[in-house]
Amino acid sequence: SGTSQFHGQASYQLQSAGMSADLNSGIRSRYEQDRSWINANLGGPVVKDKLYFYGSYFRPEKSTRNEGFGKLTFTPSQSILLNLSYRDSKRVETGTEFLSNQSPTTGSGAESRLKIATADASWVINSRSYATLTVTRFENQTLGAPDFAADVEVSATPGARLDIGG
């Protein structure tokens, strides 16, 4: 949520295929490959002892994904706390498991976009009572699509035949 002091971190992390245990099931694990990702975050005061910020960023290198998060925390008095946060994550994936007997047009990928906005308030009324309110907006847009679209036209003419001779 951020504090009265500035704090931040940036890191690069790596996981090689050799860091994963072998599976005896015959199924390839998603961990049996080299992976790496970048993380960064920063937080601190905007207005000393009243308003704080926090932000972070996440990016895996072998996946087209960008994720950002931001948050503001406001404490106008000792008994009131207000938070606003927003997360935006966009991912684009392509098929990676093509077999030798499959056409390249059979691979399918996906796009997704996740957006979450949250506002919450807390009020300590007295030592025995408090009130809270939370409002959230959640949006998860997804789309599956072929990785390589075939350059063909579909005929809607009644009686049309499929030309399989090429």
156: phi > 0 → left, psi -120 to 50 → alpha, else beta; which? Answer: alpha
Q: First and final CA of the chain: distance in angstroms?
A: 61
CA 2 to CA 106: how far, in whole Å?
47
Say what the pLDDT of residue 25 is.
65
Of 65 and 127, the structure prediction assigns the larger pLDDT to 127
Q: Which residues contact residue 22 at a Cβ distance below 8 angstroms, ignoring those fewer than 6 apart?
A: none
Please state, in angstroms and rounded to a whole number, the distance separating the CA atoms of residues 69 and 88: 7
Q: Is residue 119 a contact partner of residue 132, using CB atoms and an 8 Å limit?
A: no
pLDDT confidence bin for 129, thresholds 50/70/90: very high
Residue 5 is given by DSSP the state S
H-state helical runs in 91-160: none
- Per-residue pLDDT at 122: 97
d(CA 42, CA 45): 11
User: What distance in Å separates the CA atoms of residue 63 and residue 65, rounded to the nearest whole number?
Assistant: 6
Give the residue, 33 or 57, on which the prediction is more confident.
Answer: 57
Q: Is the pLDDT of residue 14 over 60?
A: yes
- The alpha carbon of residue 83 and the mean position of all alpha carbons in its chain are separated, in whole angstroms, by 21
CA distances from 32 to 58, 82, 85, 143 (A): 21, 44, 35, 27
Instruction: For 19-54, write each residue's pLDDT tens digit.
Output: 766 666 666 555 566 778 899 999 999 999 899 999
Encode pLDDT of 61-117 as tens digits.
776 788 999 999 999 999 999 999 999 999 887 665 555 555 555 667 778 899 999
Question: What's CA 131's distance to the chain center, in Å?
Answer: 32
